[in-house]
Amino acid sequence: MEDKIAAFFNEIRAGNIKAIEEMVTELPELVNSPDQRGFTPLILATYYNHRDLSNYLLDHGADIDARDASGNTALMGSCFKGYTEIVADLVKKGANVNLSNEMGATPLIYSTTFNREGLVKLLLVHGADARVKDAKGNTALEHAKMKGLAGIMALLDNIEN
Protein backbone atom coordinates (compact mmCIF):
# COMPACT_ATOMS: atom_id res chain seq x y z
CA MET A 1 0.00 0.00 0.00
CA GLU A 2 2.91 2.37 0.71
CA ASP A 3 3.94 2.17 -2.94
CA LYS A 4 0.41 3.08 -4.04
CA ILE A 5 0.30 6.03 -1.64
CA ALA A 6 3.69 7.26 -2.89
CA ALA A 7 2.53 6.95 -6.51
CA PHE A 8 -0.72 8.73 -5.63
CA PHE A 9 1.15 11.67 -4.12
CA ASN A 10 3.48 11.86 -7.12
CA GLU A 11 0.42 12.17 -9.36
CA ILE A 12 -0.99 14.88 -7.07
CA ARG A 13 2.25 16.88 -7.30
CA ALA A 14 2.07 16.55 -11.09
CA GLY A 15 -1.60 17.57 -11.12
CA ASN A 16 -2.52 14.48 -13.11
CA ILE A 17 -6.24 14.37 -12.41
CA LYS A 18 -6.90 11.45 -14.79
CA ALA A 19 -4.44 9.24 -12.93
CA ILE A 20 -5.90 10.39 -9.60
CA GLU A 21 -9.43 9.53 -10.77
CA GLU A 22 -8.30 6.02 -11.74
CA MET A 23 -6.49 5.48 -8.47
CA VAL A 24 -9.41 6.74 -6.36
CA THR A 25 -11.81 4.50 -8.28
CA GLU A 26 -9.58 1.53 -7.43
CA LEU A 27 -8.79 2.59 -3.84
CA PRO A 28 -11.22 5.24 -2.48
CA GLU A 29 -9.38 5.34 0.86
CA LEU A 30 -6.47 7.11 -0.84
CA VAL A 31 -8.48 10.36 -0.69
CA ASN A 32 -7.65 10.79 3.00
CA SER A 33 -4.39 8.82 3.27
CA PRO A 34 -1.55 11.03 4.52
CA ASP A 35 1.96 10.76 3.14
CA GLN A 36 5.02 10.07 5.30
CA ARG A 37 5.21 13.77 6.29
CA GLY A 38 1.58 13.92 7.35
CA PHE A 39 0.27 15.80 4.32
CA THR A 40 -3.15 14.79 3.09
CA PRO A 41 -3.89 14.64 -0.64
CA LEU A 42 -6.05 17.78 -0.32
CA ILE A 43 -3.34 19.74 1.47
CA LEU A 44 -0.81 18.79 -1.17
CA ALA A 45 -3.16 19.51 -4.09
CA THR A 46 -3.93 22.97 -2.72
CA TYR A 47 -0.24 23.63 -1.99
CA TYR A 48 0.53 23.03 -5.67
CA ASN A 49 -2.44 25.21 -6.73
CA HIS A 50 -4.25 22.34 -8.43
CA ARG A 51 -7.77 23.74 -8.15
CA ASP A 52 -9.57 21.11 -10.24
CA LEU A 53 -7.80 18.33 -8.40
CA SER A 54 -8.61 19.91 -5.03
CA ASN A 55 -12.29 20.08 -5.93
CA TYR A 56 -12.22 16.51 -7.21
CA LEU A 57 -10.78 15.32 -3.90
CA LEU A 58 -13.39 17.27 -1.95
CA ASP A 59 -16.16 15.83 -4.11
CA HIS A 60 -14.83 12.35 -3.32
CA GLY A 61 -14.73 12.64 0.46
CA ALA A 62 -11.51 14.47 1.31
CA ASP A 63 -11.58 15.85 4.85
CA ILE A 64 -11.65 19.61 4.23
CA ASP A 65 -10.22 20.44 7.68
CA ALA A 66 -7.60 17.67 7.90
CA ARG A 67 -4.30 18.85 9.35
CA ASP A 68 -0.68 18.14 8.57
CA ALA A 69 1.94 17.38 11.22
CA SER A 70 2.15 21.09 12.17
CA GLY A 71 -1.61 21.51 12.44
CA ASN A 72 -2.00 23.33 9.12
CA THR A 73 -5.07 22.81 6.96
CA ALA A 74 -5.52 23.16 3.20
CA LEU A 75 -7.14 26.55 3.86
CA MET A 76 -4.18 27.78 5.90
CA GLY A 77 -1.72 26.73 3.21
CA SER A 78 -3.80 28.32 0.47
CA CYS A 79 -3.93 31.59 2.41
CA PHE A 80 -0.18 31.43 2.97
CA LYS A 81 0.40 30.88 -0.76
CA GLY A 82 -2.25 33.41 -1.84
CA TYR A 83 -4.39 31.07 -3.95
CA THR A 84 -7.58 33.12 -3.99
CA GLU A 85 -9.70 30.77 -6.10
CA ILE A 86 -8.83 27.75 -3.97
CA VAL A 87 -9.49 29.72 -0.78
CA ALA A 88 -12.89 30.74 -2.17
CA ASP A 89 -13.68 27.12 -3.07
CA LEU A 90 -12.65 25.87 0.37
CA VAL A 91 -14.68 28.41 2.34
CA LYS A 92 -17.74 27.90 0.12
CA LYS A 93 -17.48 24.16 0.75
CA GLY A 94 -17.34 24.65 4.51
CA ALA A 95 -13.69 24.85 5.55
CA ASN A 96 -13.39 26.09 9.12
CA VAL A 97 -11.97 29.62 8.83
CA ASN A 98 -11.09 29.78 12.52
CA LEU A 99 -8.90 26.73 13.04
CA SER A 100 -5.39 27.47 14.24
CA ASN A 101 -2.16 25.53 13.88
CA GLU A 102 0.43 24.69 16.55
CA MET A 103 1.68 28.30 16.48
CA GLY A 104 -1.83 29.67 16.83
CA ALA A 105 -1.89 31.00 13.27
CA THR A 106 -5.26 31.05 11.54
CA PRO A 107 -6.08 31.54 7.86
CA LEU A 108 -6.81 35.20 8.69
CA ILE A 109 -3.45 35.66 10.39
CA TYR A 110 -1.65 34.08 7.40
CA SER A 111 -3.58 36.24 4.95
CA THR A 112 -2.69 39.33 6.95
CA THR A 113 0.96 38.43 7.48
CA PHE A 114 1.45 37.94 3.74
CA ASN A 115 -0.50 41.09 2.78
CA ARG A 116 -3.35 39.35 1.02
CA GLU A 117 -6.07 41.95 1.47
CA GLY A 118 -8.54 40.21 -0.83
CA LEU A 119 -8.25 37.02 1.19
CA VAL A 120 -8.70 38.95 4.43
CA LYS A 121 -11.98 40.34 3.06
CA LEU A 122 -13.09 36.90 1.86
CA LEU A 123 -12.34 35.26 5.20
CA LEU A 124 -14.11 38.00 7.16
CA VAL A 125 -17.22 37.60 4.99
CA HIS A 126 -17.14 33.88 5.80
CA GLY A 127 -16.93 34.37 9.56
CA ALA A 128 -13.23 34.61 10.37
CA ASP A 129 -12.76 35.78 13.96
CA ALA A 130 -10.36 38.74 13.95
CA ARG A 131 -9.98 38.55 17.73
CA VAL A 132 -8.13 35.21 17.70
CA LYS A 133 -4.56 35.49 19.00
CA ASP A 134 -1.61 33.42 17.86
CA ALA A 135 0.83 31.72 20.25
CA LYS A 136 2.66 35.04 20.76
CA GLY A 137 -0.57 36.82 21.69
CA ASN A 138 -1.00 38.75 18.43
CA THR A 139 -4.22 39.15 16.51
CA ALA A 140 -4.37 39.64 12.75
CA LEU A 141 -4.73 43.38 13.37
CA GLU A 142 -1.54 43.43 15.42
CA HIS A 143 0.27 41.61 12.60
CA ALA A 144 -1.04 44.19 10.13
CA LYS A 145 0.20 47.03 12.36
CA MET A 146 3.65 45.44 12.69
CA LYS A 147 3.92 45.33 8.91
CA GLY A 148 2.30 48.70 8.24
CA LEU A 149 -0.49 47.25 6.10
CA ALA A 150 -2.91 50.18 6.07
CA GLY A 151 -5.64 48.55 3.96
CA ILE A 152 -5.77 45.44 6.11
CA MET A 153 -5.51 47.51 9.30
CA ALA A 154 -8.61 49.46 8.23
CA LEU A 155 -10.54 46.25 7.58
CA LEU A 156 -9.59 44.68 10.89
CA ASP A 157 -9.72 47.81 13.04
CA ASN A 158 -13.43 48.16 12.28
CA ILE A 159 -13.99 44.66 13.65
CA GLU A 160 -11.85 44.78 16.77
CA ASN A 161 -13.15 48.16 17.94
Q: Do residues 23 and 8 lie in contact, with contact meaning Cβ atoms separated by under 8 Å?
A: yes
Query: 158: Cβ–Cβ under 8 A, 6 or more apart, which residues?
Result: none
User: Per the structure, how many domains does the chain have?
Assistant: 2
Whether residues 49 and 104 fall in one domain = no
Whether residues 44 and 115 fall in one domain = no
Residue 89 lies in a domain: yes
Residue-range definition of the domain harbouring residue 21: 1-63
Residue 69 lies in a domain: no
The C-alpha angle 5, 9, 12, rounded to 5 degrees, equals 140
Is the model's pLDDT at 57 over the cut of 80? Answer: yes
Whether residues 137 and 78 fall in one domain = yes
Q: What predicted TM-score, i.e. pTM, was given to this entire model?
A: 0.94
What CATH number is given to the structural domain containing 53?
Answer: 1.25.40.20
Choosing from 19, 41, 63, the residue where a domain stops is 63
Whether residues 79 and 155 fall in one domain = yes
Q: Average pLDDT for residues 143-160, to the nearest whole number? A: 91
Write out pLDDT tens, residues 40-49.
999 999 999 9
